[in-house]
Amino acid sequence: MINRKVAWTAVATAALAFAPNIGSSAPQASSSNSPASMTAQWWQWAYSIPNIPVEEGGPSIHPLVGDDDDFEDPDFYEFCGNGQHGEVWFLGGDFSGTGEAFERTCTIPAGKTILLPVINYECSTFWGDATKGVSAAQQARELKECTGPVGDLLGGTAQFGPAGGPLEEIKVKRLRTAQAFSVYLSPSNVIDVSEPDPNPSLSQADGQWIILRNLDPGRYRLEFTGVVGDPPFFEIDGAYNIEIAQPNGEPPDE
């Protein structure tokens, strides 16, 4: 995720839900699970969750901020479940772009499709990437033109396999949203945008993505890197220790 644009839970249960209805005139992300539609839903998820500490002076409850080293209590790893619902489970990188390695642990219910961007990017009206006061259709065209040039600079790799075993390279695929989609930024959002009021906004996105489907209950390891440019000026180096629970919700067998 690239921050600014180079992107890239305990306030209230409502704050962890997806955005409310923010107007029928704005294009909406499809509810389908096509790959492009899922990437739009990923942005809606990431922006809807507040970036607030679990306790005063503590680490953030946002699942894309920090890593396992921030938490003394392994139960806090379950922040990866914040805001998750439906058939697709979202994972992600970080916002620093320094290339410093991070590692997270996440338990995921059985039967979920896992979606993760090794690197991704979006243009939005809240960044000023489209002309104010024009139609939503015109803004959507401008946002699409905005994402293309940076999307061409994105690259990434990924390796996946059983925990403790050999990892194999898996496919990383470029996915671009087919149309502009609406986003609602939580107060205390992860990109610290509040003035002027950003809601509602339109976005268009591009990125390099991993999709994992039909994983059996068990423990897995996912490692990934993402870069912008050659030579790179923004880098991601991440890893997830993934536990897929049994259908009854119990942990996977040892």
Q: Which amino acid is at 107?
A: T
What pLDDT is attached to residue 57? 75
DSSP state of 53: B
CB atoms within 10 A of CB 167: 16
What pLDDT is attached to residue 73? 57
Query: Mind giving me the DSSP string for 60-87?
Result: BSSTTSS-GGG-SSGGGGGGGGTT--SS
DSSP state of 235: E
pTM of the predicted model as reported, rounded to 2 decimal places:
0.85
What pLDDT is attached to residue 21? 30
The residues of the chain scoring below 70 in pLDDT are 1-32, 68, 70-78
CA 232 to chain centroid: 21
